[in-house]
Homo-oligomer: A and B are copies of this chain.
Amino acid sequence: MEKLKVLFHVNENEKWNAALGNITNLFKDVGDEGADVVVLANGPSVAAFIDADKVDQMKALAERSVKFLACRNSLKKMCAEGTVCIDENSLPRFIDIVPAGITEIIKRQHDGYAYVKP
């Protein structure tokens, strides 16, 4: 069977529990090999990338092939606003940076990924 391609869009920090729970349930249902999962974080949700507990949960999913992407525009904006400054180079290796998260969200859908907003 073809893999279920899906992009999770997380732009609010309080949505991480739902998103990570959804992914865990998806793997339980279709198997780790049954889904191609991308998580795109933009807006305030990028703050979770320095939250040790959240990062641990993400890392466990990354080891099961989930791809985590952080929006550079959002990291910069959060820092400029004085909310939180996260140095890209200090991020865990499993988190990839994309210059504009919004472009990624659109392109993935055009590449056949379903869109889910937890």
Q: Do A29 and B116 touch across chains, with their CB atoms under 8 A apart?
A: no
- B114-A115 in contact (CB<8A): yes
Number of chain A residues close to chain B: CB under 8 A? 35
For A4, give the chain B residue with the smallest CB separation: B106
A36 to chain B, nearest CB (A): 10
- Integer count of this chain's copies in the complex: 3
Q: Are A25 and B114 interface neighbours, CB within 8 A? A: no
Docked-complex contact B103 and A26, CB < 8 angstroms: yes
Q: Mark interface residues in A51-78 (1 if CB within 8 Å of B CB, else 0).
A: 0000000000000000000000100010
Q: A4-B103, A109-B114 are known contacts; what are 10 more A-B pairs with Cβ within 8 Å?
A: A4-B107, A5-B110, A6-B106, A9-B116, A22-B102, A25-B101, A26-B102, A43-B118, A102-B116, A115-B115
